Amino acid sequence: MKKILLTGSEGDVGKVLLPQLAKRFDVVGFDLRPHHGPLNVIQGDLTRYEEVAAAVEGMDAVVHVAALLDCREVARAVDMNVKATANVMQAAIDKGVKRVVYCSTVWASGHGFSEPYMPIDEEAPCAPVCVYGQTKWLGELMTEWYARQHGLETVILRFCGFYPAAGYDEEGGIDWESADAPGLFLRYFGAGFKLMNPVDLGEAFALATEKPGIAGERFVIGCGTPYAAVDAAGLRSLPLAVAERYYPGVTELFAELGIRPEPVRYYFSHEKARTRLGFRSQHDLGDLMRLYREWKGQ
């Protein structure tokens, strides 16, 4: 079983990702904050190279998720999102780690209205609109530099994010009794935003950790949708009409649930993640419609 170090294991993403990765790997967490639970987590500081190198010793791969999102202090953001990334990469080289998965963000290319075309994909020119996006973009460049200079296998995930949704359990099932059904449908309707299923989170990072032949690549990761560039204008003006072409019956179901979707003004492409990485979110809007109808006995 591969031994994996997960940085940022006590953060909002890491604390969900750690037990998911533990299903498939011998995983060890690493975080500045203490861990209160049954899994193995090292308490340490990513800005201190010696502590990072000690944690990386003996690992087959590192999944680097730790990041500072509150970037009002620019110097601290550079320390946490760029210098700490360099420490992880250098430690991986020094300790003979084969692969590092770097969790970047869709904010690295700008996010939303600033990109020059839709859907936003891995080739969108990077022009970050905030310090967080800028420092994560610099982290991507640092990751790629280590790959070029040292032959380290690196995989970059441009993450749409993870935000848990009421109703999903740790095995990816939906308890419709406790679920916010309108909220779930709206989040799958909006094109390719944050993952909400814990199983999807684990699957995306597990594939990036172990799939052969993808070193040096980057992937946009979020909830999958079928929308294409030709749908951009329609999604901004008549989004339900566009969705109806892909998901027949969605207009009727949304009316039944009292859902009035807002225009979809920007969205992401997950085509490369599907075809090259092999990742597709467990559910899309059509799956959700089917599961809901089955639960309702319709």
The pLDDT score that the predictor gives to residue 193 is: 82
pLDDT at 192: 60
Q: What is the pLDDT of residues 123-182, one digit of tens each?
A: 999 999 999 999 999 999 999 999 999 999 999 999 999 998 889 999 999 999 999 999
SS (H, E, C) the chain: CCEEEEECCCCCCHHHHHHHHHCCCEEEEEECCCCCCCCCEEECCCCCHHHHHHHHCCCCEEEECCCCCCCCCHHHHHHHHHHHHHHHHHHHHHCCCCEEEEEEEHHHCCCHHHCCCCCECCCCCCCCCCHHHHHHHHHHHHHHHHHHHHCCEEEEEEECCECCCCCECCCCCECCCCCCHHHHHHHHHCCCCCECCHHHHHHHHHHHHHCCCCCCCEEEECCCCCCCHHHHHHHHHCHHHHHHHHCCCHHHHHHHHCCCCCCCCCCECCHHHHHHHCCCCCCCHHHHHHHHHHHHCC
| Under 8 Å between Cβ of 152 and 91 | no
Task: Give pLDDT, residue 20.
Answer: 98
**Residues 16 and 163 sit within 8 Å (Cβ to Cβ):** no
Please report the pLDDT score of residue 60 as a whole number: 98
pLDDT < 50: residue spans in the chain: none
Predicted local confidence at residue 98, as pLDDT:
96
Residue carrying structure tokens 């250098």: 90
| 44 token code pair | 């340490």
**Domains along the chain?**
3-164+193-221 (3.40.50.720)
In this predicted structure, what is the pLDDT of residue 293? 94
Q: What is the pLDDT of residue 225?
A: 85
Whole-prediction pTM: 0.96
